[in-house]
Structure 1
């Protein structure tokens, strides 16, 4: 084989399993011959078509969720760049020559990324094995014992599917409650005098269990025209993380109103986090903006640095006062604090790591991507800029971590 090039196109077409290639927009880029044989379609009917348009869920089954589950798995692959093996899926098929007739089928699926030189996912590889015959008692003359075993497998598969449905519903309810709790505890930007200068966004992670503890806060400060702007991140998922997030946000909001500066506010928050279960390794960054003096005072507890975009497009990382996460020390010591000045018309951006971090990628790459997007779009008003940043930086199907974003026009 060393003297002969391998024809990978021929290998792809001859592969005995069902294989398809999808674009990041979930459009069929190519399929192999086995795929066409199993689904009973021609290449012209499949290639170039949307995933769910070609193969919709059975409209006669209100519990049908096969396509939704497949899309969620594919979005996870896009977001993480890692292979995703799905649980056994029931997905009914409508034969092209029998419209309105749905055949019950069971499938085992594995989805994998195909990345380019830049590390981004260029294509999604969908590998499918039909296992219907292994779990369905179809009455072939294979002996009573074999038929009984097949019937037992079929029953167990049904029970597993029903259990998965119940778990998915329970997880969905927990997610809804956690999201409602999280949104109720996040402040409205209109609570501050300079709210017209600010835009806030919160995007939950994709997946039923991925509600996390990201938060933001805007608060009027005593003395002059000053505003405190903060973001933070609690480790964990679900209701517990949302609850811890609410406690830390409220504590920092109260501390900021009476603290001499952001470092002291984080000192107080760190001591409070020491007695809050679930606050371990939480991070936060807070900034005090003085609109009269055109200064920003800031301090960070293990959080990614804010970005100050100057009117000329220069992006400055406010990383001169970075310290350990909250509750990292048994006996807290005073945290560092730094100041910087700005020209009116500049933009201050605070965010959580879901906006910039990607698995297998250096964080500096994500920071550079953020700085570039902010510089290119700096003339947009805060609301439009917030939408643009999320559109350019978040994966198409959403991130696997929550994202909080605050943009203030100075």
Structure 2
């Protein structure tokens, strides 16, 4: 059959050999195939719509039972990194459905893989389980010692995983060295932040090898006491995103030095983004700060709005000149531009969406959280303010999206 529209993917999923289930990012069963239900001894209504570890908790009568805890750690790794995680063979105690309180030893080897949405976020988890209980029992009966058989199987699997992890570690180390050198070369020199009271921070996503697809830029403009401050966001993480980031940042830096304003600079960058592989859906916002006239002119290409914190604590969202992402239009049209004023001691803050967005939460909630943190920390110097905002807004275990932050004391 060549027509994909005629394929019944639900039927294909149910017919898959072996135990396969789909989980939401909240670890709730979205679906399970027939083999999963049959081999786990569960009915569909026992599983679908329920939290995984309510369906399969650890055995409360055995303090050494850790299979479900290991499974939860694996699933959380997949959610954090967006990468597949293969688990070693382990014992799982499973409560018999028809006999509550009676637990049966099962030997499973799960593989957990992400299903990514258009924005690169994990939208589903594929949870596949290799059922080897009968194999373990058969070998134990043949040898007369189940523990020795299991130990040998575990040792073999552990050696395989150890060799694989070592190869991955070596590859990641090489990629990390290249990525850090590349990123350090691409980001602006520190002298720009020393001439003004500016703090900059960037934090890569968990599992991104310290290589970030988000970027910031600080440039001296050609006339008057003016600087350009920009941030941008490239879809994805790691070395490829960093390469795209470098091309866009360099192009915007050059355009800003000769443009009449931020809108024109983004017009030039938008045309350039059309010919850069990997720049799809990239966003950016740029501001031209005039210290003599105390004005900020700004323009945004699909990016969250900068925030201007006035001395009296009022927070102004610079959202008067918003437009689609850089390459959204096949024939770019002039972008909008807006201007606002500031008084001495105010603070301008630019950032990327990793600072404010949380899974399952409206973006306005994140913006309000950022505004509140800036209002409370407004008296701090830029370096302390930047650290305080990151400490309050980013999860302690690390964010799943890259984050860049620029704080300018005006």
Is this contact kept in 1: 2:226–2:291, CA < 8 A? yes
Q: Is the 8 A contact 2:208 2:238 kept in 1?
A: no
Q: Give 2:188's aligned residue.
A: 187
* Corresponding residue number in structure 2 for 1:177: 178
- Secondary structure, aligned partner of 1:298: strand
1:373 and 1:180 map into 2 onto residues whose CA distance is 33
The residue number in structure 2 matching 1:88 is: 87
Q: Which moved more, 1:211-220 or 1:158-167?
A: 158-167
Q: Provide the aligned C-alpha RMSD in A.
A: 4.1
Query: Which residue does the alignment assign to 2:115?
Result: none
Q: Any conservation in 1 of the 2:263–2:336 contact (CA below 8 Å)?
A: yes
Are the structure 2 counterparts of residues 179 and 89 from structure 1 closer, same or farther at C-alpha, using a change threshold of 3 Å? farther
> By how many angstroms is 1:163 displaced?
2.1
What aligned pairs does 1:1-400 form with structure 2 within 5 A after superposition? Answer: 18=58, 32-34=60-62, 36-38=63-65, 74=76, 86-89=85-88, 140-142=140-142, 155=156, 158-191=159-192, 194-195=195-196, 197-208=197-208, 211-400=211-400
Distance 1:187 1:315 in 2: 28
Does the 8 A contact of 2:219 with 2:228 survive in 1? yes
Q: What's the CA shift for 1:171?
A: 3.3
CA distance in 2, matches of 1:209, 1:181: 13
Residues 143, 71 of structure 1: CA spacing in aligned structure 2 closer, same or farther, 3 A cutoff? Answer: closer
Task: Mark the CA change 1:178 to 1:293 in structure 2 (over 3 Å): closer, same or farther.
Answer: same
Q: Is the 8 A contact 2:295 2:341 kept in 1?
A: yes
Q: Shift of the alpha carbon at 1:254?
A: 0.8
Shift in Å, 1:212: 3.9
Q: Determine helix, strand or coil for the equivalent of 2:86.
A: coil
Q: Work out the CA distance in 1 between the residues paired with 2:189 and 2:72.
A: 36
- Tell me by how many angstroms 1:75 deviates: 7.1
The answer (yes or no) to whether the contact 2:89–2:157 under 8 Å persists in 1 is no
Structure 2: how far apart are the matches of 1:302 and 1:237?
19
Shift of 1:74: 4.9
1:287 counterpart SS class: strand
In structure 1, distance between residues paired with 2:247 and 2:209: 21
Q: Deviations over 1:74-132 (max 9, x none)?
A: 5776x79x9x99521489xxxxxxxxxxxxxx996899xxxxxxxxxxxxxxxxx9x99
The Cα of 1:240 is off from its aligned counterpart by 1.6
Say if 1:107 and 1:384 are closer, same or farther in 2 by CA, change over 3 A. Answer: farther
**Structure 1 unaligned blocks of 5 or more:** 1-13, 20-31, 40-50, 52-65, 92-105, 112-128
**Superposed CA offset, 1:222-276 (max 9, x none):** 1111010000011122222111111111111111111100000101111111111
Q: Is the 2:139–2:149 contact (alpha carbons within 8 Å) kept by the matching residues of 1? A: no
Aligned residues: 324
For the residue of structure 2 that corresponds to 1:142, the secondary structure is helix
Higher-RCO chain (CA-CA 8 Å, sequence separation at least 6): 1
TM-fit CA distance, 1:281: 1.1
Q: Distance in 2 between matches of 1:388 and 1:223?
A: 34
Deviates more, 1:316-325 or 1:201-210: 201-210
CA offset digits 1:345-402 (Å, max 9, x no partner): 1000000011001111110010000000000010000000000000000011110111
- TM-score by length of structure 2 reads 0.68
- Going from structure 1 to structure 2, the CA distance change for 1:260 and 1:87 (only over 3 Å counts) comes to same
Structure 2 unaligned residues grouped into runs of 5+: 1-53, 91-106, 113-128
| Contact 2:302-2:322 within 8 A present in 1 as well | yes
Deviation at 1:18, TM superposition (A): 3.0
Conserved 8 A contact 1:192-1:219? no
Please give the alpha-carbon distance, in whole angstroms, between the structure 2 residues aligned to 1:38 and 1:152. Answer: 19
In the superposition, the TM-score normalised over structure 1's length comes to: 0.68
Structure 1 residue 182: Cα displacement: 1.6
